[in-house]
C-alpha cells in the first residue's frame, strides 16, 4: 500500500464509505478510499450470478431511498452514468384470492385501490408525504432537536407504534396486507415498537420518488459515486483488506464503513471503557436467505398488476406476515416465509438476453442460518404465480454465512448492520453525544451501524464525514 500521508482515509467503499469520502473531498480534504474486495460497492454490486448475459444484483436491488437521498440528490450522478428506471407499478402485494394491493406513484390511486380503507390511507399517508421535506433531514440523521416539531410529532406518534397495531386502523385485508409488507422490511417482529416507521417511510418514498432501480444494475450507483469522487481528486484502492489500523498510512482522520464487530477487530486496542463494552454488546438481527433466477420468461403472476410491479411482496395477509416474522425471530423456520421479490428485467431489458428475464428474492431467517430456503421461497412464488418453476433456467443462492463472506458488514446475514429496534434506533452503535465519533481521536464509524441505519442513502457516511470535518479540520 502507498504509505504517503493523507488528510483522511475511509475504509470500506459501500454507499456510506463513498458518501463519507465524497463529503470530505468536496471540502478540500485529500482522501484515500480503501476497499477490501476487487470492486467497490459493498451492497451495491451486480454480477452474472447464474448464466452469461443475466445481470443480477448481489445485494440491494430496488432503491427508493437512493433516489430520494438528500445527499445523493446534491451530486451530478447522472453525468457519471446513473439513470434510475421506474417500473409501471412501484410494488404489488398479492392475496390468495387473486386480488392484490398496489403501491402506485399516485397516493390517490393507491388509496382508491384499497376500497373501504381509502379514507384511512389518506389520513395516514397525506401528512407524511406532505411533511417529508421537513422530516427527511431529521429522520435520516442522528437524534437531535427537530427543527419542525409539529411535523415530527405528527409522524412520530404513529411511527413509534408496532406495525401490527398501526395496521389495525384498516378494516380490509388489502390495506392491512400492503402495510404489513412494507413494515416487514425492518427485519424484526411486527409487534416491536417503531416497526410502523419503516412502513410509512417506504410508502411515502414510493409516492414521492417511486421505487426505481438503476439501469444496468445496482453497481451503477456505486460506479457513479466513485467516478464523481475521483473527478474531484479522490483516490481509490481496491483489493486492500485492512486487518489493523496500524496497516494504514498516516492520516488525520480515519472513517470506517464497518459495523461494531469489525471495528473491534481492527481498532480494539484503541477503544476503551464503556464504549468498547457497548460495541461488544451491540446486537445484530435476523439474516436473509437470497435466491436469484434466470428465467425463460416473465413471472406468470395470477394478478395482472403483479406482472407490472418492480417489487412484489409475497406474504398474503397481515396475520400471516406477522406470524412468519415472529417465527423467524425466534430462531425457527416458517413454512410460508414472507418473501421480498424484485423483477428488474420487466422494466430494464439490459438485465437479461432478449425474451429472457431475471428475478431476485429473499426471506428472513434466523441469524447465522445455513438452512437452504430455496424450496420455501419458490413455493411462495409458485403460490401466486403458478407455472413459475417451469421458467427457471438458472439459479444462484446465498445463505447468511455466504452473505457475510461476500460483505463482512452483513454479520450473520443481517443486511441492516444491526437490529433497528427501539433500543438501537438512535443509540447505534453506542450511547454518545455523537454516534459517529469514537473515544479514539480521529477515528470515526460511518457504516449502517450508525443513524439512520440500513438502506442505500449514504446518509450515515455523510453525517460521519461532517462530524470529522468539524472536529479535526475545523470546517463547519
Residues 221 and 298 both lie in one domain: no
Its pTM stands at 0.95
Structural domain for 110, as ranges: 84-211+285-406
> How many domains are there within the chain?
2
Phi-psi category of 3—alpha, beta or left, where left has phi over 0 and alpha has psi -120 to 50? alpha
Residues 120 and 264 both lie in one domain: no
Residues 418 and 390 both lie in one domain: no
Residue 337 in any domain: the answer is yes
CB distance 394 to 356 below 8 Å: no
Query: What average pLDDT does this structure show over 353-362?
Result: 98
Residue 476 in any domain: the answer is no
**pLDDT at residue 198 tops 80:** yes
Q: Domain containing 344 — which CATH number?
A: 3.90.660
Domain boundary among 361, 382, 406: 406
- Distances in Å between the Cα of 65 and the Cα atoms of 16, 23, 392 are 13, 18, 30
Residue 221 in any domain: the answer is yes
Domain boundary among 388, 406, 424: 406
Residue 145 in any domain: the answer is yes
Beta bridge mates, 85? 213
Residues 223 and 331 both lie in one domain: no
Look over the chain and give the mean of its residue pLDDT values, rounded to a whole number.
96
117-135 pLDDT tens trace: 999 999 999 999 999 999 9
Residue 1 in any domain: the answer is no
CB distance 167 to 180 below 8 Å: yes
266-298 pLDDT tens trace: 998 899 999 999 999 999 999 999 999 999 999
**Cα–Cα distance between 206 and 69 in angstroms, integer?**
13
Residues 238 and 136 both lie in one domain: no
Residues 150 and 289 both lie in one domain: yes
43-61 pLDDT tens trace: 999 999 999 999 999 999 9
**pLDDT at residue 1 tops 80:** no
151-192 pLDDT tens trace: 999 999 999 999 999 999 999 999 999 999 999 999 999 999
Residues 176 and 72 both lie in one domain: no
What's the distance, Cα to Cα, between the start and end of the chain in Å?
A: 31
246-267 pLDDT tens trace: 989 999 999 999 999 999 999 9
Residues 303 and 182 both lie in one domain: yes
Residues 75 and 144 both lie in one domain: no
CB atoms within 10 A of CB 168: 13
Strands 6-11 and 31-34, bridge-based pairing = parallel
Residues 88 and 77 both lie in one domain: no
Domain boundary among 406, 424, 454: 406
pLDDT at 2: 57
Amino acid at each position: 500500500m502507498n504509505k504517503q500521508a493523507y488528510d483522511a482515509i475511509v475504509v470500506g467503499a459501500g454507499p456510506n464509505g463513498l458518501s463519507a469520502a465524497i463529503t470530505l473531498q468536496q471540502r478540500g480534504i485529500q482522501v484515500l478510499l480503501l476497499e477490501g474486495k476487487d470492486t467497490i460497492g459493498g451492497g451495491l454490486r451486480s454480477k452474472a450470478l447464474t448464466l452469461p448475459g443475466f445481470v443480477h444484483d448481489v445485494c440491494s436491488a430496488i432503491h427508493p431511498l437512493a433516489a430520494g437521498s438528500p445527499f445523493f440528490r446534491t451530486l451530478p450522478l447522472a453525468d457519471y452514468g446513473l439513470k434510475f428506471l421506474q417500473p409501471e407499478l412501484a410494488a404489488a402485494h398479492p392475496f390468495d384470492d387473486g386480488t392484490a394491493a398496489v403501491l402506485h406513484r399516485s397516493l390517490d390511486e393507491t388509496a382508491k385501490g384499497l376500497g373501504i380503507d381509502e379514507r384511512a390511507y389518506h389520513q395516514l399517508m397525506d401528512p407524511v408525504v406532505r411533511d417529508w421535506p421537513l422530516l427527511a433531514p431529521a429522520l435520516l440523521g442522528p437524534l437531535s432537536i427537530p427543527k419542525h416539531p409539529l411535523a415530527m410529532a405528527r409522524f412520530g406518534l404513529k411511527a413509534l407504534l408496532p406495525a401490527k397495531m398501526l395496521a389495525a386502523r384498516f378494516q380490509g385485508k388489502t390495506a392491512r396486507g400492503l402495510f404489513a409488507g412494507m413494515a416487514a422490511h425492518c427485519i424484526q417482529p411486527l409487534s416491536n415498537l417503531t416497526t410502523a416507521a419503516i412502513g410509512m417511510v417506504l410508502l411515502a418514498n414510493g409516492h414521492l420518488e417511486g421505487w426505481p432501480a438503476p439501469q444496468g444494475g445496482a453497481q451503477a450507483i456505486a460506479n457513479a459515486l466513485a467516478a464523481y469522487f475521483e473527478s474531484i481528486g479522490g483516490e481509490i484502492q481496491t483489493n486492500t483488506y485492512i486487518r489493523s489500523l496500524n496497516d494504514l498510512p498516516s492520516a488525520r482522520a480515519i472513517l470506517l464503513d464497518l459495523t461494531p464487530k469489525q471495528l473491534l477487530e481492527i481498532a480494539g486496542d484503541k477503544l476503551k471503557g464503556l464504549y468498547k463494552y457497548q460495541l461488544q454488546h451491540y446486537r445484530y438481527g435476523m439474516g436473509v436467505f437470497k435466491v436469484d433466477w434466470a428465467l425463460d420468461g416473465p413471472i406468470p403472476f395470477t394478478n395482472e398488476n403483479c406482472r407490472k410491479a418492480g417489487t412484489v411482496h409475497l406474504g398474503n395477509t397481515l396475520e400471516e406476515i406477522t406470524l412468519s416474522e415472529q417465527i423467524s425471530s425466534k430462531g425457527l423456520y416458517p413454512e410460508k416465509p414472507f418473501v421480498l421479490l424484485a423483477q428488474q428485467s420487466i422494466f430494464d431489458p439490459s438485465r437479461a438476453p432478449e425474451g429472457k428475464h431475471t428475478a431476485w428474492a429473499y426471506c428472513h431467517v434466523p441469524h447465522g442460518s445455513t438452512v437452504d430456503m430455496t424450496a420455501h421461497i419458490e413455493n411462495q412464488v409458485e403460490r401466486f404465480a403458478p407455472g413459475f418453476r417451469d421458467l427457471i433456467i438458472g439459479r444462484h443462492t446465498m445463505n447468511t454465512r455466504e452473505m457475510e463472506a461476500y460483505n463482512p458488514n452483513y454479520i450473520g446475514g443481517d443486511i441492516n448492520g444491526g437490529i433497528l429496534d427501539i433500543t438501537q434506533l438512535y443509540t447505534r452503535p453506542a450511547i454518545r453525544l455523537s454516534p459517529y465519533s469514537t473515544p479514539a481521536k480521529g477515528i470515526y464509524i460511518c457504516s449502517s451501524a450508525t443513524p439512520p441505519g440500513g438502506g442505500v442513502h449514504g446518509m450515515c457516511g455523510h453525517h460521519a464525514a461532517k462530524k470529522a470535518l468539524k472536529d479535526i479540520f475545523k470546517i463547519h
